[in-house]
Amino acid sequence: MINIGIIGCGNISNVHMKSYMNNPNVKVIAVCDINNERAKKYSEKYDVPNYYDNHHDLLKNIDVDAVSVCTWNNSHAEITIDALNSKKHVLCEKPLAMNTKEAMAMENAAKVNNKLLMVGFVRRFGRNASILKDFANKGFLGDIYYAKTGCLRRNGNPTGWFSDITKSGGGPLIDLGVHMIDLCRYIMGKPMAVKAFGVTNNSLGPRLDVKMVNRYSPVDKGTLSNVEDFAKAMVTFENGAVLSIEVSFSMHIKEDYLYCELYGTKAGATIEPEFEIISNINGYNVDITPKYTKEKSFFADIFQEEINHFIDCLVNDATCINPVKDGVDLMKILDAIYESAKTNCEVSIK
């Protein structure tokens, strides 16, 4: 039985909690939030015996074996390093940190304390991603030389901490782009990025005047928005492959649009909006749709798979497919894109 603590009682923590509750090898015994009343209500809602208003007190609980870090991005590094130094394993929500320097400090803390630090790259656990990864690993796509992906929202600025750069570190690039860049790079075999060129724009803001639409919203709402509305980037890798990425919180488009496409020397594939593989067989162009049982609830199910994998790593010493190094490598890419957007120059990645 693994005893879990959840740090941060915002929206995403509920998905972690429900996934832990569905795992027979887990008991959530502690939660904390900087809002003490929220932590109290959260503990009552889920029947958790211990609640705290700071992570230091939670980490003093010797019965806690591991924690989920579900806080603002600007506290990921501090909380994770403190947890690792307290000999707890950690599942940290994406992005791993605010920047590469913080991410590398987290990686070092995991190494020094010989504890697992798993990054919340939850899209890797989608069945479409798992199937395409299987195809790619077996060489069916050949050498993947190009990928293009995007997550464009029409009116999807969450505001609150998401759009406060001191808490989030950025806008849709660090919030949405982190998933899409990682998903492509994961299927490509995790090549090392060498250069990035990017642009950002923040002309639209939160567009709070738009009426009668459902909005993404954190538990603590706000009106401040000093992050980018839109970002576009090109990333090149040491093997010669190229990745194109575009993301937006707010954009004058007909509807939200998510896409992910990869192209290899033997076949191409789309994961979103539909899963399809495109190739040549027996001298003919063919479009292949893999047949599989899709998730009943994609969002809930992929988080369940992620949590189950985290626990499997702790209970059965399974090899973590979301190691901290992947989070560090992703932060290097994000840092380079943001730096390129500031300087209007291509940035090298080391």
Boundary residue ending a domain (121, 141, 175): 121
Mean pLDDT (whole number) for 56-69: 98
Residue 316 belongs to some domain of the structure: no
Domain match, 258 and 344 both: yes
User: E strands of 202-266, at which residues?
Assistant: 230-237, 242-248, 257-264
CB-CB contact of 233 with 338 (8 Å): no
Domain match, 142 and 209 both: yes
Domain match, 257 and 297 both: yes
What pLDDT does residue 227 have? 97
Q: What is the tens place of the pLDDT at every residue in 64-89? A: 999 999 999 999 999 999 999 999 99
pLDDT band at 216 (very low <50, low <70, confident <90, very high): confident
Residue 150 belongs to some domain of the structure: yes
Looking at the chain, the whole-number percentage of residues with pLDDT higher than 90 is: 95
Residue 238 belongs to some domain of the structure: yes
What pLDDT does residue 217 have? 84
In order of 32, 35, 107, 179, 222, the CA distances from 327 in angstroms are: 24, 28, 9, 11, 29
Say how many Å lie between the first and final Cα of the chain, rounded: 41
Domain match, 234 and 139 both: yes
Q: Between β-strands 347-348 and 193-201, what pairing exists: parallel, antiparallel or unpaired?
A: antiparallel
Which has the closest alpha carbon to 322: 301, 300, 307?
307
Which CATH number covers residue 99? 3.40.50.720
Q: How many domains does the chain have?
A: 2
Query: Which tokens sit at 257?
Result: 């649009």
Residue 176 belongs to some domain of the structure: yes
Three-class SS of residue 345?
coil
Rg of the chain (C-alpha set) = 20
CB-CB contact of 165 with 229 (8 Å): no
In order of 74, 126, 151, 280, 321, the CA distances from 133 in angstroms are: 32, 11, 20, 19, 12
Boundary residue ending a domain (68, 93, 121): 121
Domain match, 100 and 218 both: no
Which has the closest alpha carbon to 159: 202, 219, 95?
219
Boundary residue ending a domain (121, 136, 152): 121
Domain match, 102 and 158 both: no
- CA–CA separation, 151 and 32 (whole Å): 32
Residue 159 belongs to some domain of the structure: yes
Domain match, 41 and 88 both: yes
The pLDDT mean for the chain works out to: 97
List of residues 6+ apart from 28 with CB closer than 8 A:
3, 4, 5, 6, 17, 20, 21, 46, 48
Which CATH number covers residue 256? 3.30.360.10
Count Cβ atoms below 10 Å from residue 281 Cβ, excluding itself.
9
β-pair partners for 267: 279
Query: Which tokens sit at 297?
Result: 């609830």
CB-CB contact of 79 with 69 (8 Å): yes
Residue 226 belongs to some domain of the structure: yes
Residue 318 belongs to some domain of the structure: no
Domain match, 199 and 344 both: yes
Q: What is the tens place of the pLDDT at every residue in 270-311? A: 999 999 999 999 999 999 999 999 999 999 999 999 999 999
Q: Which of 93-97, 142-146, 212-216 has the lowest mean pLDDT?
A: 212-216
Domain match, 103 and 158 both: no
Domain match, 105 and 186 both: no
Residue 139 belongs to some domain of the structure: yes
For residue 4, is pLDDT > 90? yes
CB-CB contact of 187 with 123 (8 Å): no
pTM: 0.96
Domain match, 289 and 225 both: yes
Range of the domain at 114: 2-121
Domain match, 283 and 172 both: yes
